[in-house]
Amino acid sequence: MLPLRCVVGRHGFNFHCYADDTQLYLKFSPSGPPSATLTRLSSCLEEINAWMRQNFLQLNGSKTEAIQTGTPQQLRASPIASVSIFGHSILLSPSITNLGVKFDPRGSGGSGSSSDREVRGSIPVPDYVCNCNVAFVSFVDLSGHCDSCNYVTFYFVITTSCLFSQSILLRWTKGFNCSGVEGRDIVQLLKEAVQRRGDFTIGFVAMVNDTVGTMMSCGYRDQSCEIGLIIGTGTNACYMEEMRNVKRVEGEDGRMCINTEWGGFGDDGTLENIITDINRTIDQTSIKPGVHIFEKMISGMYLGELVRLLLVKLTEQKLLFKGQRSTTLLTAGTFPTKFISEIEEPLSGLENAKRILSSLNVPYDSVDARIVRLVCDTVSSRTARLCAAALATIANRIRVNRGLKHLKTTVAPGMVRLLAPDCDITFILSQDGSGKGAAMVTAVAQRLALQSHLVLQPFCLSVHQLRTISDLLMKDLIKGLGKHSHHKAAVKMLPTFVRSTPDGTEHGDFLALDLGGTNFRVLHVRVLEEEKVVDILGSQTCSISQDIMLGTGEQLFDHIAACLADFISSQNLKEQTLPLGFTFSFPCEQKKIDESILIRWTKGFNCSGVEGRDIVQLLKEAVQRRGDFTIGSVAMVNDTVGTMMSCGYRDQSCEIGLIIGTGTNACYMEEMRNVKRVEGEDGRMCINTEWGGFGDDGTLENIITDIDRTIDQTSIKPGVHIFEKMISGMYLGELVRLLLVKLTEQKLLFKGQRSTTLLTAGTFPTKFISEIEEPLSGLENAKRILSSLNVPYDFVDARIVRLVCDTVSSRSARLCAAALATVANRIRVNRGLKHLKTTVGVDGTVYKKHPNFSDELQAMVRLLAPDCDVTFILSQDGSGKGAAMVTAVAQRLALQSHLLEDSDGDSEEED
């Protein structure tokens, strides 16, 4: 009920909840205008009603009661006779009975001070808050009758004796401050409340701390559970201590559960070295200053306020929101802890941040949203690390107590909503100084400030921009398919002459070649019809040196033929002539299934004498020059088509292939009537989009950054494959490196000191991005990588580098999603469908190995193509198995074609 508490708190009310009844308490001055009081009440109830609707609850205005209390003179002078709630006019009641306590206008029954007037509403929602002694006693009233043992879980600091039947409250925490309870026996107060009711009885009472209850309930399922942990509104832990160490209780044998009450850690000044100014403000403005310091640093009751105060501080320093603070942002309680969880969501976090910042009425931009996310991450990370340090202390104590080298135990995580709901949590002990978070955030923002807004902002693409990009790509797809417009199109839309996806009847043995990067593979593949599987019976990898990549075409294909000969010999296949599928992952114009003209080299290749020539012919000539083996029919396969075909054998609804690795590309099944460069109107053909060339005609000029232009100008083929250079694995690492150099030159990183390594192209490979963005080990990986770059970094630098990596990879995922959504939407419109269900076969190291890329891509596709239900499946060796599948499908279609021709001939003879 913390969210409801924040709603009420924003309007300046106190409130008390029990079961399905909630009481609102509003104090107002007798001399104040009544309209202002009623407006506050109405506004509060309207917001409560909205919150309830969002959470599938209903507020019943017709059952709401109101009472006004005060001195007789105040009541006579009051002009308020009724309140209006959701269209219901509620007359003020002369008295109200609730939970056995009678409230009258003069305040008897303990409803409040007789010097105050209060408006009280009763609302059917559950919660657990009280703020006076009578309210507290009413809160723990029970209904029914039970003479057996009763257990009361009490979430506050207590000392227990007499076999759990006596429990003295030491102090209130978590915002409670009920008078007349501290120092008294909770069990006795409960029994007195039951006696006052007189309508039921209870038997023996056992007091249980919530942390102990958590451990015990989990221990019933897992008997190795010896630690209980709470990290929610408050925080605490308990564990099984050796009795010999519990000096305040008689006995040496066995163990006893100790309720640590670790929330009070630091109350004696122990944590002074890591407490920040923000922590001190939180403590000083709390109900109990100087008490439960550790809890105020890590628990859910305070984390949202920690973040809010940090945002205020950064805004005052003109590092956020253009230095403009809103009244909402300056109001305590307007940033509940749930906002942190929402902002740190992997997929929707940035959108949530924008929504939340809008509700705070601050003028934000995309970089502001990312910095707010960083602030939230820093605060919650400190919580996790401090909690981990405390928990590790307990685990180590248990191990040492028992003289063990290694301890295996179970932690019962109660209310771990904040750290990782519904997750099996692994805790890692902080090695970086868990108390430096707040100061570090200020340093991050100072370094990013206005200059970094200019650096990073162009990489933050809005949904509106992505939709515009999708529209531009759709025009290019149509242009590429046109008979007369094709030669001017940046997106070439190449026919592959693959007329069908697998239908499950394909079978046989095939050779497959795969050339798409610095390694070249040869495979022996068997397609088994009955088992519906594609087996790789053997494979061999050959490297391609830089000299060959930049040499002559004859050198390249002689090297391929040599690798193929070695493989055929090792597999004892010289006596067989097998059909061959050749995955050639470069832009080609396919004339036939066995004729493919290279349009241009990409991915660092620039072999002379190959562009404009038939790849199949060059391969056959190289094989003939050797003369020691033969090959059968050759089917040319783009790697993207191979990916789609390999996945299509498992899922016959797979009609899109996607590559996002060293390069990027996509293919899909287009209606033949739209493929103007190939004869025929019926059926479909797989189109190799070659979307890496999107933007080569200047279409993307509005989103291209200075860093993108540098990448392009220093590449082997300037002005070519602009889209690929913005999103593919070959360039992402270099994009990040150039951004780090720029930030360093502006003295926003590494104290302005650039190393020779950092200034050298290629020293920041794309795999570094994946490592730095790892959820658990990312920051440690960042430090290791920065050490290898020989730059003088600190903890703040590591965080900024992680932010840069996240910005670059996020742009890549969003651009890829915009392009993929365009293809899915085109298939749906082509077929006249209101809703399309299709599958995308995916391959590529960026998609497979980056920790967040696939999730962000899929989420954005759903947003940009809402009428398409798109399933993603990973290709299992698309370039190898896929090449074999294309060859197998080509053979099946050729056989069917021959059978149809024979059938037509027989028919004519019979006629």
Residue 385's H or E segment, with its range, is: helix 366-401
Strands of 247-291 (E only): list them.
255-259
Residue 410's H or E segment, with its range, is: strand 410-414
Round to whole Å and give the CA distance between 843 and 645.
Answer: 12
The angle at the Cα of 119, spanning 117 to 123, to the nearest 5 degrees, equals: 155
Q: Using CB atoms within 10 A of its CB, is residue 900 exposed (0-12), middle (13-18) or buried (19+)?
A: exposed
Q: Using CB atoms within 10 A of its CB, is residue 166 exposed (0-12), middle (13-18) or buried (19+)?
A: middle
**Structural contact between residues 63 and 122, judged by C-beta atoms closer than 8 angstroms:** yes
From the centroid of its chain, how far is CA 827?
29
Which residues neighbour 420 within 8 Å (Cβ) at sequence distance 6 or greater? Answer: none
| Tokens read off for 613 | 């020539």
The yes-or-no answer on residue 434 being catalytic is no
* Residue among 447, 521, 799, 802 flagged as catalytic: 521
DSSP 309-340: HHHHHHHHTTSSGGG---TTTTSTTSS-HHHH
> What is the 8-class DSSP label of residue 249?
S
Residue 169's H or E segment, with its range, is: strand 166-171
Round to whole Å and give the CA distance between 406 and 429.
Answer: 17
The yes-or-no answer on residue 196 being catalytic is no
| Tokens read off for 214 | 């958590």
Round to whole Å and give the CA distance between 786 and 791.
Answer: 6
Let me know how many helices (H) and strands (E) the chain has, helices first.
27, 29
CB atoms within 10 A of CB 622: 21
Round to whole Å and give the CA distance between 576 and 629.
Answer: 9
Helix%, strand%, coil% for the chain, nearest 5 = 45, 20, 40
The yes-or-no answer on residue 633 being catalytic is no
580-584 and 634-637 beta bridge pairing: parallel
**Structural contact between residues 144 and 153, judged by C-beta atoms closer than 8 angstroms:** no
**Structural contact between residues 894 and 887, judged by C-beta atoms closer than 8 angstroms:** no
* Residue among 138, 452, 585, 854 flagged as catalytic: 585
Cβ density class 374-395: b for 16+ within 10 Å, e for less? bbbbbbbbbbbbbbbebbeebb
* Residue among 614, 639, 696, 877 flagged as catalytic: 639
Round to whole Å and give the CA distance between 473 and 818.
Answer: 9
* Closest to 154 in 3D by CA, of 131, 143, 170, 135: 170
Round to whole Å and give the CA distance between 187 and 167.
Answer: 6
Round to whole Å and give the CA distance between 615 and 635.
Answer: 11
**Structural contact between residues 880 and 523, judged by C-beta atoms closer than 8 angstroms:** yes
Round to whole Å and give the CA distance between 514 and 644.
Answer: 15
- Cα torsion for 35, 41, 44, 49, to the nearest 10°? -120
> What residue type is assigned to position 307 of the chain?
V
Give the catalytic positions in this structure: 521, 585, 639
